[in-house]
Copies of this chain bind each other. A is one copy, B any other.
Amino acid sequence: MDDQLSDLEGGALAFIARNGPTTSYAVAKDFADSPSEFWSGSAGAVYPLIKRVLARGLLEASKGKDGARARTRYTLTPAGLKAMKAWLLNAKRASSIGFDPLRTRIVHLDQVSAEERKEFLKQVQALLDAAKSETVWNDIPRLAAIHATVLEARQSWLNALKALFD
């Protein structure tokens, strides 16, 4: 019954669906270039993942050539597209709380002194601010726009948290 995709698998298939015939390398790079450091986008994660979903019939391999180089490119099968959409539109999982390094700390921030707390929150704010001017995803307007909302949302959340500690 568990034909559901993991979030890494889902993200990989969605990327392939968008790009058409795609190499494992390109999938790995996509994860590595994302502003989240949660997934490293390492070969050790992605190459086995692609083989896994290929074995499940969700991908089709096409062995092509690029000059002397052999290239294996993958495309979604109809079943793959269906699985990807089921992953993507899973509202229940989308609405769940994931992992947030700030949230896991905030719940324990009352254990330090007011000065340490203030200094910490100031530093986080500065880093969040600095993240805005980082050139990540700037070449793709769609992603840049989404990333901007993420950073803004984090900042206003941080302000709400600051108010809690007054």
Contacts and interface: CB of A to CB of B under 8 A. Distances in A.
Given A99-B99, A103-B150, A150-B97, A14 B108 contact: yes
A140 to B, nearest CB: 9
A105 B123 contact: no
A33 interface: no
Q: Oligomeric state, in number of copies?
A: 2
A104 B142 contact: no
Nearest to A127: B95
Contacts of A79: none
13 contacts: A11-B104, A18-B108, A35-B97, A39-B99, A85-B112, A88-B120, A89-B119, A95-B124, A95-B131, A98-B99, A107-B143, A152-B160, A153-B154
